Structure 1
Amino acid sequence: VNGYFLNGHLVLWPPVEQVLKNPQYADYKVVFTGHSLGGALAALAAARTAKQGLRPGEKITMYTYGEPRVGDAQFATNFDSMIKDSYRVVFRRDIVPHLPACAKDKTWFGDGETSRPCDINILNKPYHHSTEIWYPDSMEPGSHYIECTGEPRGEDFTCSDKLKFYYDQSNSYIWDHRHYFTVRVPEYGKTGCDVAQPEGKPGLFENV
């Protein structure tokens, strides 16, 4: 597991564990969610909840948005075996889900228009758990999305993993990371989720 994400998890876990152990909520299902770093922390909390037996896997659901790679292929395999109801939403060319970089399959040769697939067989390198939900164009209501269940598992090469990223387009990748379902995260949250202010309060980050 990535050390930075793990340190954050260890700081935040005690009050979460306290709630999960409260007999008052023993029969409740649990939904973990988060954006960006929050997505990584949600994944670690969901995995630990299942691993410690605080909830059975069928009572755990996870939705993350722009989640980076949390652990390696072994972590991903263990996560997928414990938690089936897990969805990593990725918007268009959001670059954060492609960080930290996975180990690429060096035996694969394409047409130069796409990246290379991640190699699940290389140990101790970043690798995603399942299941990516990719919105390749827009996140307006009714927009087309793809449930990415192909190969390699967790890193379906027919979805966002096939994208190549270029330095001179980095601003657009960051824009995609900061905008999910037509609102700017987290500035939208700071308004109390005011639908009249999807970009947050006027004057904040106007040029980003």
Structure 2
Amino acid sequence: YNLLGTGTVLLPLMSAAYVPDPKPCLNKVLPGSKMNRRFELPCDATGKNTCSAFTWVDEARKMIGLVFRGTISDEQFEFELPSLLSARPKKFQNGGQAVPYFNDAMFSLWNGGLGTNVQELSRQHPDFDFYIAGHSLGGSMASLAAAHISASGVHPSSKIILYTVGEPRNGDEQLGHLFDAFRAYRIVHYKDLAPHLPFESQGYKHHSQQVYYENSMAAGEPYVICKAGEDPQCANK
């Protein structure tokens, strides 16, 4: 877990996912990198709520990246909530069960051009580290995308690095095992409600590993890394 890299690069890029043009932020935090493509598509039955992600390449640092946007409106959250609290889990393409909204949202982007874009970037840069990131809903989509990319052999698992902030539970224990193949850092603040949803009683489990902050998360603040997805020493205290 690289706190400096997360705070100075990936957290700003997660924020940049919420604006129509992430390029200025990307150029600031990773000078010399290039925005590749941005996708924004309807991602639920309303036809109005959209999900978004963008890809980037940094030739000098040998990195490619994929960042997902989180929930952007009360209307979208109100449509997500039943999927979190009452909808039956949905079969995930690479094994296990996933939260229906997160699964459908990620694959709406993937099948809408993102998958082709990611495959092309991986073919062009098979030896590059692949950073995948997102906040909240974006964190769940990033997680499912990372699991899919790894399990489908789109990019070498050893080169995949996942960072999420405020990620809800997004699948069952079987799906969680897919995350053992690559590096995953699920950053959790002790006052954040999102990581406690949906409930374990619904059959959902967090994947490993958790980076837990029981403070303000300011630079230099301590954190605990918990290897287990549902660790009683971290967010489940």
Q: Is the 8 A contact 2:126 2:156 kept in 1?
A: no
- 1:88 corresponds to: 186
Structure 1 residue 69, shift from structure 2 partner: 0.4
- 2:140 corresponds to: 40
- 1:166 corresponds to: none
- 1:158 corresponds to: 233
Match of 1:54 among 154, 164, 185: 154
Q: Is the 8 A contact 1:138 1:144 kept in 2?
A: no
- 1:133 corresponds to: 211
Normalized per residue, which structure has more helix? 2
Q: TM-score, normalised by structure 2?
A: 0.55
- 2:196 corresponds to: 98
How far apart are the structure 1 equivalents of 2:125 and 2:186?
26
Asked if 1:67 is matched to 2:167, the reply is yes
Q: Is the 8 A contact 1:46 1:62 kept in 2?
A: yes
Q: Is the 8 A contact 2:208 2:229 kept in 1?
A: yes
Structure 1 residue 138, shift from structure 2 partner: 1.4
Structure 1 residue 10, shift from structure 2 partner: 1.1
Residue identity opposite 2:131 in structure 1: V
CA RMSD of aligned residues (A): 1.3
Residue identity opposite 1:18 in structure 2: T
- 1:192 corresponds to: none
DSSP 3-state at the match of 2:236: helix
How many residues get paired?
137
Q: Is the 8 A contact 1:64 1:88 kept in 2?
A: yes
How far apart are the structure 2 equivalents of 1:147 and 1:17?
31
Q: 1:19 to 1:27 in 2, by over 3 A?
A: farther
Q: Is the 8 A contact 2:140 2:169 kept in 1?
A: yes
Match of 1:6 among 76, 88, 103: 103
DSSP 3-state at the match of 1:21: helix
Structure 1 residue 28, shift from structure 2 partner: 2.2
**Residue-by-residue CA offset, 1:94-124 (whole Å, 9 max, x unaligned):** 0100100113xxxxxxxxxxxxxxxxxxxx7
Aligned sequence identity (%) = 39
How far apart are the structure 2 equivalents of 1:45 and 1:96?
19
Q: Is the 8 A contact 2:173 2:204 kept in 1?
A: yes
Q: Is the 8 A contact 2:186 2:208 kept in 1?
A: yes
Structure 1 residue 17, shift from structure 2 partner: 1.8
Match of 2:119 among 13, 21, 27: 21
Q: Is the 8 A contact 2:211 2:225 kept in 1?
A: yes
**Residue-by-residue CA offset, 1:20-47 (whole Å, 9 max, x unaligned):** 2213233322111000000000001000
Structure 1 residue 57, shift from structure 2 partner: 1.1
Structure whose alpha-carbon radius of gyration is higher:
1
- 1:180 corresponds to: none
Normalized per residue, which structure has more strand? 2
How far apart are the structure 1 equivalents of 2:176 and 2:167?
13
Residue identity opposite 1:143 in structure 2: E
Asked if 1:145 is matched to 2:223, the reply is yes
Q: Which of structure 1's runs of 4+ aligned residues deviate more than 3 A?
A: none
How far apart are the structure 2 equivalents of 1:19 and 1:59?
17
Structure 1 residue 18, shift from structure 2 partner: 1.6
How far apart are the structure 2 equivalents of 1:64 and 1:92?
15
- 2:95 corresponds to: none
DSSP 3-state at the match of 1:45: helix
